Amino acid sequence: MNFKQLSELLVKTNKFLVLRSVNAININLTIRNWIFGYYIVEFEQQGQDRASYGKKLLDAVAKEIKIKGLTAPELSRCRQFYLIYPQILGSLSQEFPDHILKEIFGTLSQIFFSHPRSPDIKAVPDYSKSADQNSYLTNLIKTTSFSHFVELIKIDDPVKRQFYELLIFRTTPSVRELRRQIETLTYERFGLSSDKNSALIELSNKISPVETSDLVKSHYFFEFLNISKPQLVEESELEQALIDHLQDFILELGNGFCFEARQKRILIDDEYYFIDLVFYHRILKCHVLIELKTEIVKHEHIGQLKVYLQHYKHKVMTKDDNPPVGILLVTDKKKTLVEYAVAESDKELFVSKYQLQLPDKAKLASFIKNELRNYDLGTNHISPQPPEN
């Protein structure tokens, strides 16, 4: 063994074992959420005091258990996951010995495993008679993260859902890629193909497989492990460095800014979004949402920020608050654009009032240009320099 072989062996071993660790976490997360879904359905059907909670059950459960990430919408997803995939029960016995299953399910295990109820769902995919259903689902769990399952359970058509299951088996796409395939009607377009085998090969060649780093970036992964990490979304190192400094820059301006959150996760129409920085302005009595993009301005950037503002207006602001305001900072390293957006843009009074208290556009643009000039591409680090006058 020479030095190069030693180095390659260490890298290969590390990559293999890291992947095994990540897969193990994803499998346990998936099974936990399935079991949670079972518990909830079991309570809804058989719980002695279920009528007392009714439609507010999931809100009450989330408030009681206080498990990071398990809000009422997430518990609803667990419930839906169980209802769509009740057959996963059979694969549990392959993953866990009987004594562990009994420990997990407790006193309910004997009832459940002796007489499992069939959930009232539209349909269950008719898997091939020649294939072992338990083996199929076990492999699906091992190759599919819960983030992938979140996309799959949105599909009502069982046949269509199974198509994307097979696509996951064949190509192991990232969650973003799976979502793109669903949104671009790959199933429907595939059905129109005259040569299915060639179409599948062509499709497989176009899909890049998921990387271990993609799995680790999942917010489900961090919440399951109860790990705090500021950047839970895929962002460039440059954007993250700019956000780090921008947070300090805004606070140093004073003028009533109170830091509230970074990478603030919000749920809109069953989809998670992340807001770069959120402040509350104690003088204006409103939330200030800041989005930063290290690219040329696009219509979707403005539209996205307006969606965030409407979400805050209808879901977050109280009766004593003024409408939230958004600040969009966009740069392609040649030109910096700073724009304000307001949840109620037709109210000129609010726009004028905001502009008296918010950072000057020129000052923000100068800050961004200064940061970009000091950014070291080799170290992904911004060297501190005095700001431009």
Per the domain annotation, does 56 fall within a domain?
A: yes
Residue 70 shares a structural domain with residue 170: yes
High-pLDDT (> 90) share of the chain, %: 16
Q: Which segment of 77-91, 96-110, 182-196 scores lowest on mean pLDDT?
A: 96-110
- E-strand ranges in the chain read 257-268, 271-281, 286-293, 325-331, 336-342, 375-376, 381-382
Confidence grade of residue 42 (pLDDT, cut at 50, 70, 90): confident
Between residues 302 and 381, which one has the greater pLDDT? 302
Three-state DSSP string of 151-218: HHCCCCCHHHHHHHHHHHHHHCECHHHHHHHHHCCHHHHHHCCCCHHHHHHHHHHHCCECCHHHHHCC
Per the domain annotation, does 78 fall within a domain?
A: yes
**pLDDT for position 357:** 72
Distance CA 320, CA 306 (A): 21
How many structural domains comprise the chain?
2
Is it the case that residue 164 has pLDDT exceeding 90?
yes
Based on its alpha-carbon atoms, the radius of gyration of the chain, rounded to whole angstroms, reads 25
> Are 290 and 277 within 8 A, CB to CB?
yes
Residue 48 shares a structural domain with residue 122: yes
Is it the case that residue 150 has pLDDT exceeding 90?
yes
Per the domain annotation, does 273 fall within a domain?
A: yes
Distance CA 380, CA 76 (A): 40
**pLDDT for position 120:** 40
Confidence grade of residue 208 (pLDDT, cut at 50, 70, 90): confident
Encoded tokens for 93: 């016995």
Residue 373 shares a structural domain with residue 285: yes
Per the domain annotation, does 229 fall within a domain?
A: no
Confidence grade of residue 251 (pLDDT, cut at 50, 70, 90): confident
**pLDDT for position 158:** 92
Q: Which segment of 149-153, 206-210, 265-269 scores lowest on mean pLDDT?
A: 206-210
**pLDDT for position 346:** 44
Q: Sort strands 271-281 and 286-293 into parallel, antiparallel or unpaired.
A: antiparallel
CATH classification of the domain holding 337: 3.40.1350.10
Q: Which segment of 13-17, 260-264, 344-348, 351-355 scores lowest on mean pLDDT?
A: 344-348
Q: What is the pLDDT of residues 92-125, one digit of tens each?
A: 666 665 556 656 655 555 545 544 444 443 333 3
**pLDDT for position 37:** 93
What is the extent of the structural domain holding 191? 3-220
Q: Which of 165, 93, 84 is nearest to 128 (CA)?
A: 165
Between residues 244 and 34, which one has the greater pLDDT? 34
Residue 214 shares a structural domain with residue 259: no
Highest mean pLDDT among 133-147, 275-289, 351-365: 275-289
**pLDDT for position 115:** 43
Confidence grade of residue 344 (pLDDT, cut at 50, 70, 90): low
